[in-house]
Amino acid sequence: MKSPEFDRHERARWAGRAAAYDRSFARLCAHPAAALLEAAGVEKGHRLLDAGTGTGTVAALASSQGASVLAVDAEPSMLDIAATRLPAGATVLATLPVLPFPARAFDASVANFVINHVGNPASAVAELARVTRPGGRIAVTAWPSPPPTAQHLWGDVFDAAGAERPAGMPRLDPGNDFPRTEEGVAALLEGAGLTGVSCITLSWILHVDPDDWWAGPAAGLSTAGLILEHQPPSVVDEVRAAFDQVTAPFRGDDGLLALPATALLAAGLKH
């Protein structure tokens, strides 16, 4: 699948599914929020761009710390929820890598798990650099490869249920892809002209209700949702049974799953 088709796939995959995302995967994505803002050097009074805000977790945290935040997303249903968590007028419908802002408009820019979801990650980072003033910082997060337990368990679930993967799974054009490693994400930022680039790996345990974790793919979210959508109802029931079995070792006495998670956090300076 070429990158323009990848972008269209991403738009369709998340369309109208903000509530399901907020219940499920948003909880996983929320963990790096404070570290992301710190890496971007966000301070009280700063003009901050949160690109790909989703349901507004990072933007709301920055706003609570006194930053003047503009939260951007390509999906209207995400912005509907984000708007309930932000000051009036703080959300804008827009899609990387073309943002409707002048150059040097922001003191800092962040993108939390967004470069995983665009057809041209290098162009997306370059656009973040364009709208950030000289001396401002840009910080991004991305999922590593191989994926952390919280995500690769879905593959184990589908394998256990004997679920077939649909043909034509979305893939970036090879010329636009990048290594999902500390070095690979750092190289993206360096390619956009940022200096003093660093990339670290964050690790944590996601505590989540099993039904909430199931709710994301059950609503069609992410690659797991795409695979689940292609199964006949009888196989969906088998996948749910496999989900309960595969995740059982991660279930605590409180009934919650404790899933190991890791993410890459990179940041650099706009010169």
Q: State the average pLDDT over residues 118-128.
A: 97
Query: Which pLDDT value is given to residue 104?
Result: 98
Q: Is residue 8 part of a domain?
A: yes
Digit-coded pLDDT (tens) for 168-189: 777 889 999 999 999 999 999 9
- Grouping H, G, I as helix, E, B as strand and the rest as coil, residue 257 is strand
Q: What is the CATH number of the domain that holds 33?
A: 3.40.50.150
pLDDT of 2 over the 60 cut: no
Inside any domain, residue 235? no
* 1 pLDDT tier (thresholds 50, 70, 90): very low
Higher pLDDT, 167 or 35: 35
Residue pair 143/263 in contact (Cβ under 8 Å)? The answer is yes
Residue 245 in any domain: the answer is no
Give the count of domains, the chain.
Answer: 1
Question: What range defines the domain where residue 109 resides?
Answer: 3-148+172-205+262-269
Q: In this structure, is residue 215 part of a structural domain?
A: no
Pairing of strands 257-269, 195-208: antiparallel
pTM of the full structure: 0.95
Q: What is the pLDDT of residue 107?
A: 98
- Asked whether 187 and 121 are in contact (CB, 8 A), the reply is no
* The pLDDT value given to residue 256: 98
**Which amino acid is residue 28, in one-letter code?**
L
Given a cut of 50, whether residue 8 has pLDDT beyond it is: yes
pLDDT at 148: 87
Check pLDDT > 60 for residue 257: yes
With cut-offs at 50, 70 and 90, classify the pLDDT of residue 235. very high
Better-scored residue on pLDDT, 206 or 148: 206
**Angle CA 34–37–38, to nearest 5:** 85
Residue 220 lies in a domain: no
Name the percent of the chain lying above pLDDT 90: 88
Strands (E), the chain: 47-51, 68-73, 91-93, 106-112, 132-142, 195-208, 257-269
Average pLDDT, the chain: 95
Q: What is the pLDDT of residues 21-61, one digit of tens each?
A: 999 999 999 999 999 999 999 999 999 999 999 999 999 99
Which tokens hold the place of 5?
A: 């088709």
User: Does 243 reside within a domain?
Assistant: no
Tell me which of 70 and 172 has the higher pLDDT.
70
Residue 247 lies in a domain: no
- Percentage of the residues of the chain whose pLDDT score is greater than 70: 99
Within a domain: residue 176? Answer: yes
With cut-offs at 50, 70 and 90, classify the pLDDT of residue 9: confident
